[in-house]
Amino acid sequence: MELEKTIRLLKEGKHLSEERVYDICLKSQELLITEGNVTHVDTPVTICGDIHGQLHDLLTLFEKSGGVEKTRYVFLGDFVDRGFYSLESFLLLLCYKIRYPDRITLIRGNHETRQITKVYGFYDEVMRKYGNSNVWRYCCEVFDYLSLGAIINNRIFCVHGGLSPDVSTINEIKAIDRKQEVPHEGAMCDLLWSDPDDVDKWSLSPRGAGFLFGSNEVEEFLHTNGFELIARAHQLVMEGYKEMFDGGLVTVWSAPNYCYRCGNVAAVLKIDDQLERNYTIFDAVQPQDGVGNAIIPTKQPQMDYFL
């Protein structure tokens, strides 16, 4: 089957034709357009944080957590940029989505935008691999169709970044027109950019987009919507995950040794039918020379806006 062959090639880091990428992106859009801004997911499910183009670590993630053939996954966005295999990582997840639509939920991150990918690596990667930007454009079209959040068993809210002063209820997220480039402000922007912090009230984020929010905002959002946990990604956590606000919020980070130099471990969070949390920690793998195009270039990643 063509899809199985494509999955195998992507896992080996092999080159796909522009036509094949276009086909994958088109099929993905047809699938994603049927999903709402907030998708509903049943347990058991494994929640995964940022991937950032680290293909070989993504393969390790699947290996350590059961694999898509047997496990349901929610990916919290930031599939691309920083790492050197953004294209293969994103296309592999799209192929899995096409192959197992009920087992993979893909949420949009702040890096799934045209503006950010022009600066932080994905655009340059596509230009290096194809000599033109067509494949980048196809993928950006898919970004616009990704969901903004997910709800697990009506009790856990999954989002890439965090909360927004413009959003009190899930229905307000469902009302957003998501099929667009991420705006510079407003609810959609905040969901992808905001961060939790020890603050007493909403504060402007030092990232230049989104807000900082504290325990009061988390408690109010959980209470209003009948949730018990917000699961999000977006921030590097050296230990792979970090629970805050009496366990009402957790940050999950799934890119080990981020940017090939940060030295952090990665984690995924499995939620069982009783909503119990079980974290799996894993380390980075060093790609072997000669496997596909799996040689880490020496080019330094861009400056880190999150520092």
pLDDT in tens, 57-99: 999 999 999 999 999 999 999 999 999 999 999 999 999 999 9
Any catalytic annotation for residue 15? no
Indicate whether this model's pTM tops 0.85: yes
Distance, CA of 56 to CA of 86 (rounded, Å): 11
> What confidence tier does 1 reach under pLDDT thresholds 50, 70, 90?
confident
| CB-count burial class (<10 Å; 0-12, 13-18, 19+) for 207 | middle
So what's the pLDDT on residue 286?
A: 74
Overall average pLDDT of the 125-138 stretch: 98
Distance, CA of 209 to CA of 186 (rounded, Å): 9
Distance, CA of 79 to CA of 255 (rounded, Å): 10
- In one-letter notation, the amino acid at residue 262 is C
DSSP element (H, E) containing 10:
helix 2-11
Write out 162-206 in H/E/C secondary structure: CCCCCCCCHHHHHCCCCCCCCCCCCHHHHHHHCEECCCCCCEECC
> What confidence tier does 287 reach under pLDDT thresholds 50, 70, 90?
low
Cβ neighbours, 10 Å, residue 36 = 13
Overall average pLDDT of the 249-274 stretch: 97
So what's the pLDDT on residue 259?
A: 95
Average pLDDT, the chain: 94
Domain boundaries, the chain: 2-282
So what's the pLDDT on residue 296?
A: 46
Give 212-237 pLDDT, tens digit per residue: 999 999 999 999 999 999 999 999 99
The first and second tokens of residue 95, run together, are 């192929």
Overall average pLDDT of the 135-158 stretch: 98
So what's the pLDDT on residue 199?
A: 96
| CB-count burial class (<10 Å; 0-12, 13-18, 19+) for 223 | exposed
Residue 86 phi, psi (nearest 5): -60, -45
So what's the pLDDT on residue 213?
A: 98
Q: What percent of the chain has pLDDT over 70?
A: 93
Catalytic residue among 52, 56, 111, 160: 111
| Pair 38, 225: CB distance under 8 Å | no
2-282 topology per CATH: Purple Acid Phosphatase; chain A, domain 2 (3.60.21)
Q: What percent of the chain has pLDDT over 90?
A: 93
- In one-letter notation, the amino acid at residue 35 is E
| Pair 228, 212: CB distance under 8 Å | no
